[in-house]
C-alpha cells in the first residue's frame, strides 16, 4: 500500500531529532567506541582471542550453553505454548504470569536464589553431597542459570503465533483423517516455524549475553564455569584490556548476525499474519 | 449416508447453545440448517463432525452411534466458514492432504486431485498458495479438499458468508451442481433464508438452540409452524387480533379465519403480498411511504388506530392506481396465519 506523503511540520522534525539523538547517545556511541577500540587491533584482536586458551574455553562454554538453551527451551517453549494457548486449566493465569518472571527479575537475584537451594547449607545440598554431585561453581550451575534467564523467549513467540493462527486448520486436518501427530508435524509446526525461529534467536542472544546469574552460580572458574562474558569481566579486572575488547568484539559480531536473523524471521512472521 | 440426531443438548456455562434437537437426514439429501446467528446451528454441525462433544444426546451415522468416535475416524468432510486452508501448502497439497494422511498411493492421490480440480473449476491454480487466491477460489479449494477422501457426509458451516454477493450466487450454483453430481449427503448452515430455500431439499429451522420446524422449503414457506418461523421466512406484518362472534378482527381489519373461540387472543401473521390496498376516501388508513423496489413497490401505511402495516405489489398492479403518500386507502387481508398470542417460544 503506498503511504501518503507527509509534510515536515516543526513538531515532527523535533520528535525525529529527539528520537535519533537518544538512540545515538545510548546505542550507537558506546557500541561504536567498542568496535573502534577493538578494531584498532584489527584482526589481531580477534586472532588473540582464539589464540588464548582461556578465552577459547570461555567461548566454547558460551556456545555450549546457548545450544543447550536453544534445544531445551525450544522444546519446552513449543510444549508450553501449546498448553497455555490451547488448554484451560485451574491457575492458568498464574502459570501464564510465572513464565514471564525471568523477564522481570534481576539475574543476580536468580543466582542467589539457586545458591539458597544448591549452595553450602542449601536445601538440596545434603542430597547433592550424598550423590557427589556439584551444582554451584560447576557446569550444572551455569546451565541452570542460562536456562532460567532464557526460558520465556521461545514460549512467548510461539504462543503469540499460535493465538493468532487459531485452531481451524488443525480441526480441518482432524476431519480429513490426520492423527494428532500428523497434524502437529504437517500443520502446526510449519505454521509456527517463523515464530519459533524468532524465539530461538532471542534465546541464543540472551544466552550469549547472560552475566549476573552465571557469575553468581558459576563463579567464573577458568575452564570450568567461565563463559565469554565472565571472561571479559575477569580480563578487565586483571587489566588485560586487549583480551577483553577482543572477546567483546566476538560477541558484538555474533549479536550483529543474530540481529539480521531476527529481522528476517520478524518479516516472515508478519507476512504470514497478513494472509 | 443417513444421519440421525437424538435429543442433542449442549451448554456453554448457563447458556443453552443446543436444546434437545432431534432430526434425521436421508442418504443423498442436501439439507439446510437455517436460523438467526448465534442460534446453535454451527454447534449442531460441529457435534455431528466430532469437533465438539454434546452434553446429552446421540449422533448416529448410518445407524451406528458415533458419540465416542473421534472426528478423524468419522469420515465426515467439513468446510469451515473461513476456509481454514493450510496456508503453507499449495492448492494441490491442500486437496491431497486427506489422501496423504490416509496413505492413499501417490498415483491414485494425484488422479483424484486432478479430477477435483476439474470438477471445481480450479485447473491451472494447483501451484498457487491460499494467499494468492480470491475468496471464491479459496472456498472451492476448501470444498475440493473436504471431498477428496470421499467422505460419507459433507458438512458446510456458513460456506458462503465470507464472499461478496455475486460470488456467493456463483458458489451456490457450484454446490448444487456438485451435489447433483457427487450425491454425497450434505448439511449446510446458513442464516440466509433465500440461500437455504434455493439450495436445500429440506430445511431445518433452528432458533435459540431449538428445532422450530423441519420440512421442504415450500412447506415451511406456506405452512410456518410458529409465529417465529412465519416472521423469519418472509416480510410479514404481525397484528394483534381477537376472535369475535362475527370472525377474527385486528382493529378495523377483518382477518379471514375459521374455528376460533370468541374472546381468544391471537397474533395474525400477514405476508406483505397477502394484502390489498386501494384508494378510498372512506378508507381505514393513510399511506405514509411508497418505495420502489425494482420490479416491485412497497407501500407503508398507518392505520387509524396508529399501528403500521405494509404491503408489496407488482409495479404495474392496478391496485397501485392513485396510491401515493398521504392518500386514504382501504385494506383487505386475503390470507393470514393465526397463532395464540404470546404462546410461541422465540416470538417477541
Chain A (182-221) residues lying within 8 Å, Cβ to Cβ, of chain B: 182, 186-187, 190-191
pLDDT, tens digit (0-9, with 9 covering 90-100), for B253-263: 888 887 788 88
Quote the cell numbers at residue B42.
Answer: 454451527
- Contact of A126 with chain B, judged by CB distance below 8 Å, is answered with no
CA distance B301 to B311: 9
Strand order in B285-293's β-sheet?
A: B275-279, B328-333, B285-293, B296-303, B308-314
Q: What is the mean pLDDT of residues B277-297?
A: 89
Tell me the Ramachandran region of residue B313: left when phi exceeds 0, alpha when psi lies from -120 to 50, beta otherwise.
beta
Taking CB atoms and an 8 Å limit, are B101 and A272 in contact across chains?
Answer: no
Mean pLDDT of A218-247: 87
pLDDT in tens, A105-142: 898 888 888 888 888 888 888 888 888 888 888 888 99
CA dist B140 → B32, B81, B329 (Å):
19, 12, 51
pLDDT in tens, A44-96: 777 888 888 889 999 999 999 999 999 999 999 999 999 999 998 999 999 99
- pLDDT of A266 strictly over 60: yes
Radius of gyration of chain B (CA): 25
Average pLDDT over residues A250-269: 86
Q: Who has greater pLDDT, B165 or B189?
A: B189
> Strand locations in chain A, DSSP E?
none
For residue A99, how many other CB atoms are within 10 A of its CB?
A: 17
CB within 8 Å of chain A, chain B residues 115-134: 130-131
> Average per-residue pLDDT in chain A?
88
Choose among B37, B35, B33, B71: nearest CA to B52. B71
What three-state secondary structure class fits A72?
Answer: helix
- What was the pLDDT predicted at A273? 54
Q: What is the mean pLDDT of residues B297-305?
A: 89
Grid cell, residue B223, equals 405452512
Which pLDDT belongs to residue B346? 42
- Say if A48 is an interface residue toward chain B (CB within 8 Å): no
Q: Are B86 and A187 a contacting pair at CB < 8 A?
A: yes
Rounded Cα–Cα distance for residues B101 and A175 (Å) = 11
Q: What CA–CA distance (Å, rounded) separates B124 from B143?
A: 17
Residue B25: its H or E element: strand B15-25
* More confident call, A169 vs A31: A169
**What dihedral do alpha carbons B262, B267, B271, B275 form, nearest 10°?**
40
| Cβ within 8 Å of B, A 151-170 | 168-169
Contact A172/B at CB under 8 A: yes
Give the per-residue pLDDT at A41.
67
Could you tell me the pLDDT band of residue B344, with boundaries at 50, 70 and 90? very low
pLDDT in tens, B171-199: 888 888 888 888 899 999 999 888 888 88
**Taking CA atoms, what residue in B is nearest to A173?**
B98
The neighbour count for residue A262, using CB atoms within 10 Å, is: 15
pTM score: 0.79
Cβ–Cβ gap B51/A177 under 8 Å: no
| A32 C-beta neighbours (distance < 10 Å), count | 12
Taking the CA of residue A79 and the nearest CA in chain B, the distance in Å comes to 21
Residue of chain A minimizing CA distance to B132: A275
Q: In which band, very low, low, confident or very high, does the pLDDT at B348 lie, cut at 50, 70 and 90?
A: very low
* CA–CA gap between residue B56 and residue B53 (Å, rounded): 9
pLDDT given for residue A274 in this prediction: 53
Average pLDDT rounded to a whole number, residues A219-232: 88
Closest residue to B71, CB basis, from A174, A187, A190: A174
| Contact between residue B232 and residue B193 where contact means Cβ atoms under 8 Å apart | yes
Stated as kind and residue range, the H or E segment containing B85 is none
The pLDDT tens digits for A120-129 are 888 888 888 8
Select the more confidently predicted residue: B348 or B342: B342
**CA–CA dist A255, A248 (Å, integer):** 10
Mean pLDDT of all residues in chain B?
Answer: 88
C-alpha–C-alpha distance, residues A35 and A31, integer Å: 6
End-to-end Cα, chain B, rounded Å: 38
Contacts of A178 in chain B (CB under 8 A): 72, 97-98, 101
Residue A229's pLDDT is 92
Q: How much is the pLDDT for A186? A: 95
In the 8-state DSSP scheme, what is residue A132? Answer: T
Residue in B143, B195, B144 with CA at minimum distance from that of residue B168? B195
DSSP labels for B153-203?
Answer: EEEEESTTTTS-HHHHHHHHHHHHHHHHHH--EEEEEES-HHHHHHH-SEE
Beta bridge partners of B309: B301
Q: Please name the residue of chain B whose CA is at the shortest distance from the CA of residue A174.
A: B72
Residues of chain A found within 8 Å of residue B71, distances taken between Cβ atoms? 171, 174-175
* Residue A2: per-residue pLDDT: 57
Q: Which residues contact A184 (CB under 8 A, 6 or more apart)?
A: none
Q: Which whole-number Å values give the CA distances from A26 to A19, A202, A210, in the listed order? A: 11, 21, 20
From residue A97, give the alpha-carbon distance in Å to each of A78, A91, A93, A94: 17, 10, 6, 5
How far, CA to CA in Å, does B190 sit from each of B184, B193, B236? 19, 7, 21
Residue A191 in this model has a pLDDT that exceeds 70: yes
In chain B, pLDDT over 70 holds for what percent of residues?
98
Closest A-chain CA to B73: A177
Under the banding of pLDDT at 50, 70 and 90, the label for residue A3 is low
Chain A residues within an 8 Å CB radius of B97: 173, 176, 178, 186
- Whether residue A145 contacts residue A218, with contact meaning beta carbons closer than 8 Å, is answered with yes
Give the pLDDT mean for B15-30.
92
Contact B122, B141 (CB under 8 A): yes
How far apart CA B93 and CA B295 sit, in angstroms, is 47
Greater confidence (A220 vs B53) lies with: B53
Residue A172 is nearest to which of B84, B102, B149, comparing CB atoms? B84
Q: Which residue reads 416472521 in cell numbers?
A: B231
Percent of chain A with pLDDT over 70: 94
**pLDDT for the residue numbered B198:** 86
Which member of B71, B72, B84 has the closest CB to residue A168?
A: B84
The number of beta carbons lying within 10 Å of the beta carbon of residue B238 is 17
- State the average pLDDT over residues B64-72: 91
The answer to whether the Cβ–Cβ distance between B51 and A191 falls below 8 Å is no
Number of residues that this document lists for chain B: 348
- A242 touching B, CB under 8 A? no
Mutate to test the interface with A, among B45, B72, B73, B133 (most CBs of A within 10 A): B72
Amino acid at each position: 500500500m503506498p503511504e501518503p506523503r507527509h509534510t515536515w511540520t516543526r513538531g515532527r522534525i523535533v520528535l525525529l531529532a529527539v528520537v535519533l539523538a537518544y538512540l545515538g547517545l545510548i546505542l550507537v556511541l558506546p557500541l561504536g567506541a567498542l568496535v573502534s577500540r577493538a578494531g584498532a587491533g584489527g584482526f589481531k584482536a580477534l586472532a588473540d582471542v582464539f589464540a588464548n586458551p582461556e578465552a577459547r574455553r570461555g567461548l566454547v562454554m558460551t556456545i555450549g550453553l546457548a545450544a543447550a538453551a536453544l534445544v531445551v527451551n525450544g522444546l519446552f517453549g513449543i510444549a508450553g505454548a501449546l498448553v497455555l494457548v490451547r488448554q484451560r486449566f485451574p491457575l492458568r493465569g498464574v502459570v501464564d504470569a510465572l513464565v514471564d518472571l525471568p523477564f522481570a527479575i534481576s539475574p543476580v537475584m536468580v543466582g542467589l536464589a539457586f545458591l539458597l537451594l544448591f549452595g553450602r547449607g542449601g536445601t538440596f545440598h545434603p542430597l547433592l553431597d550424598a550423590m557427589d554431585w556439584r551444582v554451584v561453581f560447576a557446569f550444572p550451575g551455569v546451565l541452570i542459570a542460562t536456562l532460567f534467564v532464557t526460558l520465556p523467549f521461545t514460549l512467548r513467540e510461539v504462543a503469540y503465533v499460535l493465538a493468532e493462527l487459531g485452531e481451524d486448520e488443525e480441526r480441518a486436518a482432524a476431519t480429513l483423517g490426520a492423527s494428532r501427530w500428523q497434524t502437529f508435524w504437517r500443520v502446526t509446526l510449519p505454521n509456527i516455524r517463523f515464530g519459533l525461529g524468532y524465539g530461538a534467536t532471542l534465546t541464543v542472544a540472551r544466552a550469549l549475553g547472560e552475566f549476573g546469574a552465571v557469575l553468581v552460580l558459576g563463579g567464573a572458574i577458568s575452564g570450568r564455569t567461565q563463559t565469554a562474558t565472565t571472561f571479559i569481566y575477569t580480563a578487565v579486572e586483571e587489566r588485560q584490556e586487549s583480551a577483553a575488547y577482543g572477546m567483546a568484539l566476538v560477541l558484538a559480531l555474533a549479536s550483529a548476525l543474530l540481529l539480521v536473523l531476527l529481522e528476517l524471521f520478524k518479516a516472515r512472521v508478519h507476512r504470514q499474519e497478513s494472509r | 449416508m443417513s444421519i440421525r440426531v437424538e435429543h442433542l443438548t449442549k451448554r456453554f456455562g448457563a447458556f443453552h447453545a443446543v436444546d434437545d434437537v432431534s432430526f434425521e437426514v436421508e442418504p443423498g439429501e442436501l439439507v439446510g440448517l437455517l436460523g438467526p446467528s448465534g442460534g446453535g446451528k454451527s454447534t449442531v454441525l460441529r457435534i455431528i463432525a466430532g469437533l465438539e462433544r454434546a452434553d446429552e444426546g446421540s449422533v448416529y451415522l448410518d445407524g451406528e452411534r458415533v458419540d465416542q468416535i473421534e472426528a478423524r475416524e468419522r469420515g465426515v468432510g467439513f468446510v469451515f466458514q473461513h476456509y481454514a486452508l493450510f496456508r503453507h501448502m499449495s492448492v494441490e497439497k491442500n486437496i491431497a492432504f486427506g489422501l496423504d494422511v490416509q496413505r492413499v498411493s501417490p498415483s491414485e492421490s494425484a488422479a483424484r486431485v486432478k479430477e477435483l480440480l476439474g470438477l471445481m473449476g480450479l485447473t491451472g491454480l494447483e501451484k498457487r498458495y491460499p494467499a494468492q487466491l480470491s475468496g471464491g477460489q479459496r472456498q472451492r479449494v476448501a470444498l475440493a479438499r473436504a471431498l477428496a477422501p470421499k467422505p460419507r457426509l459433507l458438512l458446510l458451516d456458513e460456506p458462503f458468508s465470507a464472499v461478496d454477493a455475486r460470488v456467493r450466487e456463483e458458489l451456490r450454483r457450484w454446490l448444487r451442481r456438485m451435489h447433483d453430481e457427487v450425491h454425497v449427503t450434505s448439511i449446510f448452515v446458513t442464516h440466509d433464508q433465500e440461500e437455504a430455500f434455493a439450495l436445500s431439499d429440506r430445511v431445518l429451522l433452528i432458533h435459540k438452540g431449538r428445532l422450530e420446524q423441519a420440512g421442504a422449503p415450500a412447506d415451511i414457506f406456506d405452512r410456518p409452524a410458529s409465529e417465529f418461523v412465519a416472521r423469519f421466512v418472509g416480510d410479514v406484518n404481525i397484528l394483534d387480533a381477537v376472535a369475535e362472534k362475527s370472525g377474527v378482527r385486528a382493529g378495523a381489519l377483518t382477518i379471514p379465519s375459521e374455528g376460533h373461540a370468541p374472546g381468544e387472543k391471537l397474533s395474525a401473521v400477514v405476508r406483505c403480498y397477502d394484502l390489498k390496498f386501494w384508494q378510498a376516501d372512506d378508507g381505514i388508513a393513510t399511506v405514509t411511504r411508497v418505495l420502489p423496489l425494482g420490479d416491485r413497490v412497497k407501500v407503508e401505511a398507518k392505520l387509524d388506530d396508529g399501528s403500521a402495516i405494509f404491503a408489496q405489489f407488482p409495479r404495474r398492479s392496478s391496485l397501485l392506481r392513485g396510491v401515493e403518500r398521504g392518500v386514504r386507502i382501504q385494506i383487505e387481508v386475503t390470507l393470514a396465519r393465526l397463532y395464540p398470542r404470546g404462546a410461541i417460544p422465540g416470538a417477541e
